[in-house]
């Protein structure tokens, strides 16, 4: 890797960071225009796809058709920055020592910059490449939404036999991930004057009773699903209720985040949760919001082995296999029995954090690892 390669990757990242693609609303129009114009001279099949004109994803392929391929995936949306906490401008890539600071520098515009440059050089670097390869730059990841990778899979616009995600892992490997689902709980009561609360039914108090039992009895019951350092968890993330302090509230609402291990399935786990809640309040309405099963890839698959060997070649040491805390777009392919590997530059703890920073050397290592991987296909 020469200095020209290095400066170009940093230039791309600078331009990506400068374009606001934060969710909400997660508008990808400007970013897609930049990526499309950058890749249109690369002799690839480049297209923009999605259900909404302001939230499209870009696909760049070295072939035509819908055949199975290796798919490199990076999401191009970010969370909204809390500008009060940022020391630098979040939309200006700023170098400080060995790090680059900027919104999305780690999650996930760093890997997107490397993959963009690699895609632009693919035909030049690997003129005899026979393997079918797709690059996807997707929206809607921060929303856990249906407009990005979910849409590309649903419409069969990509057909991976191997999915290589670019979420931050310090260039180590994640090959399994917990499933996740969100559920909303609506609790009904009966209004009355706050001076005569006994004449009403307090929906917030009913909701609190449910939450107390979820946090004690239900949470303890989840331990039977734990697998080593992969934990089955529950979190109450949102809650509201009532409409005035001097009125007994007739409604309350809360939302649950459930992370499930490979011992569990989304459908049965949701039904179990619903039954538990309705045991304490039969009138509670429990709705499934969104969710997908976890995945676990075969550590002996040929493509993972090649990536492993490429890491060894570049870093001169063995990579680590990490346990994943969050979820990635790999979850949409959990039931497809494909190879899913997450490898990306940057520390996962930097994602969603103010003053997010990327170690510069990890960007270049990532490029070298992917180049060596493709060279040896």
The predicted-structure confidence for 219-267, as pLDDT tens digits, reads as follows 999 999 999 888 999 999 999 999 999 999 999 999 999 999 989 999 9
| pTM for the predicted model, two decimal places | 0.87
Query: Residues 67-121: pLDDT tens digits?
Result: 999 999 999 999 999 999 999 999 999 999 999 999 999 999 999 999 999 999 9
- Reduce the DSSP state of residue 71 to 3 states and report it: strand
Q: Which top CATH class is 3-177+294-375?
A: alpha beta
How far, CA to CA in Å, does 278 sit from each of 187, 209, 274, 283?
10, 12, 6, 7
Distance CA 24, CA 96 (A): 29
Q: How much is the pLDDT for 18?
A: 98
Nearest to 136 by CA among 77, 191, 75: 75
Q: Quote the pLDDT of residue 160.
A: 97
- Does residue 327 surpass a pLDDT of 90? no
179-292: CATH, from 3.30.540.10, 3.40.50.300, 3.30.70.360, 3.30.70.20: 3.30.70.360
Whole-number pLDDT of residue 337: 87
Output the pLDDT for position 157.
Answer: 97
pLDDT for 145 = 85
> Is the pLDDT reported for residue 35 higher than 90?
yes
The rounded distance, in Å, linking the Cα atoms of 205 and 197 is 12
Share of residues in the chain with pLDDT > 90 (%): 91
pLDDT, average across residues 309-329: 92
Query: In this predicted structure, what is the pLDDT of residue 300?
Result: 86
Number of alpha helices (DSSP H) and beta strands (DSSP E) in the chain: 9, 17
Is the separation of the CB atoms in 269 and 291 below 8 Å?
no
How close are the terminal C-alpha atoms of the chain, in Å?
19
Q: By the 8 A CB rule, do 149 and 211 touch?
A: no
Separation between Cα atoms, residue 264 and residue 227, nearest integer Å: 11
**Is the pLDDT score of 39 beyond 90?**
yes
- What is the model's pLDDT at position 324? 83
Is residue 298's pLDDT more than 90?
no
pLDDT at 26 over 90: yes
> According to the model, what pLDDT value does residue 336 have?
92
pLDDT score at 270: 98
Degrees, nearest 5: CA angle 141-321-343: 40
The Cα 106–Cα 142 span in angstroms is 14
Domain ranges for the chain: 3-177+294-375, 179-292
Render pLDDT for 138-190 as a digit per residue (tens, 0 to 9): 999 998 889 999 999 999 999 999 999 999 999 999 999 999 999 999 999 99
Helices assigned H by DSSP within the chain: 3-18, 29-39, 109-125, 149-154, 203-213, 219-221, 266-280, 302-315, 360-375
Question: Nearest-CA neighbor of 326 among 114, 158, 106, 153?
Answer: 106
């Amino acid at each position: 890797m020469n200095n020209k390669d290095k400066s170009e990757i940093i230039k791309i990242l600078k331009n990506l960071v400068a374009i606001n693609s934060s969710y909400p609303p997660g508008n990808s129009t400007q970013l897609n225009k930049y990526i499309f114009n950058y890749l249109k001279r690369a002799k690839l099949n480049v297209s923009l796809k999605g259900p909404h004109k302001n939230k499209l994803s870009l696909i760049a392929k070295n072939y035509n058709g819908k055949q199975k391929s290796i798919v490199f995936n990076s999401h191009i949306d970010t969370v909204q920055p809390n500008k009060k906490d940022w020391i630098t401008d979040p939309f200006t890539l700023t170098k400080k020592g060995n790090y680059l600071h900027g919104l999305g520098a780690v999650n996930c515009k760093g890997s997107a910059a490397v993959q963009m440059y690699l895609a632009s050089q693919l035909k030049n670097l690997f003129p005899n490449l026979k393997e079918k390869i797709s690059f996807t730059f997707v929206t809607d990841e921060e929303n856990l939404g249906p407009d990005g990778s979910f849409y590309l899979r649903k419409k069969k616009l990509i057909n991976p036999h191997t999915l290589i995600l670019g979420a931050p892992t310090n260039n180590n490997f994640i090959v399994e991930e917990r499933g996740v689902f969100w559920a909303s709980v609506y609790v009904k009561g009966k209004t009355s004057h706050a001076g005569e609360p006994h004449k009403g039914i307090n929906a917030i108090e009913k909701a609190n009773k449910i939450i107390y039992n979820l946090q004690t009895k239900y949470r303890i019951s989840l331990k039977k699903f734990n697998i080593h350092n992969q934990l089955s968890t529950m979190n109450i993330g949102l809650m509201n209720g009532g409409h005035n302090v001097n009125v007994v509230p007739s409604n309350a609402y809360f939302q649950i985040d459930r992370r499930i291990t490979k011992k569990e399935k989304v459908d049965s786990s949701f039904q179990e949760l619903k039954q538990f809640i309705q045991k304490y309040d039969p009138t509670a309405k429990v709705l499934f919001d969104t969710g997908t099963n976890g995945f676990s890839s075969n550590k002996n698959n040929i493509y993972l082995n090649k990536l492993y060997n490429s890491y060894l070649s570049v870093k001169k040491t063995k990579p680590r296999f990490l346990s994943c805390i969050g979820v990635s777009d790999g979850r949409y392919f959990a039931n497809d029995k494909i190879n899913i590997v997450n490898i990306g530059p940057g520390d996962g703890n930097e994602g969603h954090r103010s003053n997010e920073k990327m170690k510069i050397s990890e960007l270049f290592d990532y490029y070298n690892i992917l180049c060596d991987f493709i060279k040896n296909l």
